[in-house]
Structure 1
Amino acid sequence: MMRLRVVTPEGAKIEAQVTSVTAPGSAGELGILPGHVPLLTSLTIGKLSFVTGGKTVHLAVNGGFMEVHDDDVIVVTETAEEPDAIDVARARASVERVDRDIVQLDAQTQPEKVAQLNRRKARALNRIKTAELHGTPDALRKVREAPPQAGA
């Protein structure tokens, strides 16, 4: 067993005994099992998964860092959202806004703004994918039955 702690600017999000962790490393997906060698790595936008009590839990994370040492795994990330807490309609609206905004920019003269919009889109797409693949059927049904938001 390992101890997993997921920390965001709001405080400790998760603290659990886990048998495995899968994280979106900057160089690719990382699998962590008990006895893993010490590691400090950056994380990218993606899905953090872990197994606790025989159940796999998924979180949409927004980059950050992960440290592994002596069966202690610490993830520090800007956000960590459970699939059922993700507002899929809002995330889809964000993707549409970014697509509209990016068309109006000149990538040659505003590369920083284009990169910022691409990161925003990647975060929204990760939230959508995590919610749709791992949310409960009831939560997804509510999303599909909800009327479209104004301005979306």
Structure 2
Amino acid sequence: MIKFLLMVNKQGQTRLSKYYEHVDIGKRTALEAEVVKACLFRKKDECSFLEYKDYKLVYRQYAALFIVVGVTDSENELSIYELIHNFIEVLDKYFSRVKIMFNLDKVHIILDEMILNGHIVETNRNRILVPLQALDKMAE
């Protein structure tokens, strides 16, 4: 099960966080700081999976952006690794060079289409984008 997903820049600043289980706000800050530190300071030739407390962390770097996903021990790391790549491909397809940070509401919609209650529910890029395309048509 997916517990959380973070989008972090190279400076370690969290740009987006999505939690699929309750974590107190005060604890989130400490958790994010420790998780980001654990992932950002790893070498490029090291594995993108690591254990951290009660979580397995799976992360990928895309340019200056890190996507970090915290999962339970029973989750398949490779499927989460591919989920991260699919998420980035959906973002690239929808935004096409528009700054993602100015459209975090739409990024949340994309995540909600892909992950529900910590479980992957959709991986087809076209189906993931249907709600956003409908919203865009209504806005025109």
- The structure where strand makes up a greater share of residues is 1
Larger Rg: 1
- The structure where helix makes up a greater share of residues is 2
Do Structure 1 and Structure 2 share a fold, with TM-score over 0.5?
no
TM-score range, shorter chain: under 0.3
